[in-house]
Amino acid sequence: MSELRVRPKPRDDSGAVLEVTPQSAGWTYVGFKVIALEPGEAAGGGEPDREACIIVLSGRCDVDVGQQRFENIGERMSVFEDKSPAAVYAPAGVLYAIIARTAVEIAVGTAPGSGAGEARLISAEHISKETRGAGTNMRYVRNILPETEPAESLLIAEVITPGGNWSSYPPHKHDRLAPPEESALEEIYYHRLNPKQGFAFQRVYTDDRSIDETVCVEDGDVVLVPRGYHPVGAPHGYDLYYLNIMAGPQRTWIFNNDPAHAWIAQKK
């Protein structure tokens, strides 16, 4: 089984159905957790040296961060609704609590932080949207925590790729700290399929092929991208959602396309 694929598990006492730590991933920056709660249930977290972004994937909940409460947040009941999520930013060292009003699915991305900045609600109205690509390379992006918005390490977006289309394509990478040519970012892909019995494919490979894996992902899987190119394909009939969590030594996203396939981006 691929070391880059992380599968969901039965819900534990904290509500977690999936968790990736820097230690389990064998890298330095990105942490990720998915929490499932029933109405009235609660979960919490917060680490001294790690900032967090709490993304309400589906359902509605209250989120307490330090002394602040953000009430009844959440804009959709499925990640495939044509709506942006609500999210809450929690600085490093601040505890947070999530209280479910409906059945709710929460994603939490974490990365190193010093505690700078303020807790805040990232409302759906504040999240910019864009369409990337054309034809069978078209996908729809929601920028939850882009580099234009304050945070210390985290960069977060979600993408809908229609069935039959490609995404993160042409294949690109961001694994070399050499600005302004390229930045170094670890990355999580959290995948969902609609209908959920579907599947998709993600290849992760480096120029020297020290990594070269093609992963068949199913609903709820994570793919780890420690380095290298990482295109995604959604089969006909199955729309693909993924949530990206990125972080690295500098908070900037500068990528390079695989030279063998860069011509695709230049094609009119």
Residue 23, domain extent: 5-266
CA distance 223 to 3: 9
- Name the phi and psi angles at 50, rounded to 5: -140, 125
> Tell me, what's the pLDDT at 266?
82
CA distance 142 to 54: 15
End-to-end CA gap in the chain: 39
| Cβ atoms 229, 171 nearer than 8 A | yes
> What CATH number corresponds to the domain at position 152?
2.60.120.10
> Tell me, what's the pLDDT at 268?
53
> Tell me, what's the pLDDT at 265?
87
| Cβ atoms 75, 127 nearer than 8 A | no
pLDDT beneath 50, residues of the chain: 1
Number of domains into which the chain is organized: 1
How would you class 1 by CB atoms within 10 Å of its CB: exposed for 0-12, middle for 13-18, buried for 19 or more? exposed
> Tell me, what's the pLDDT at 121?
98
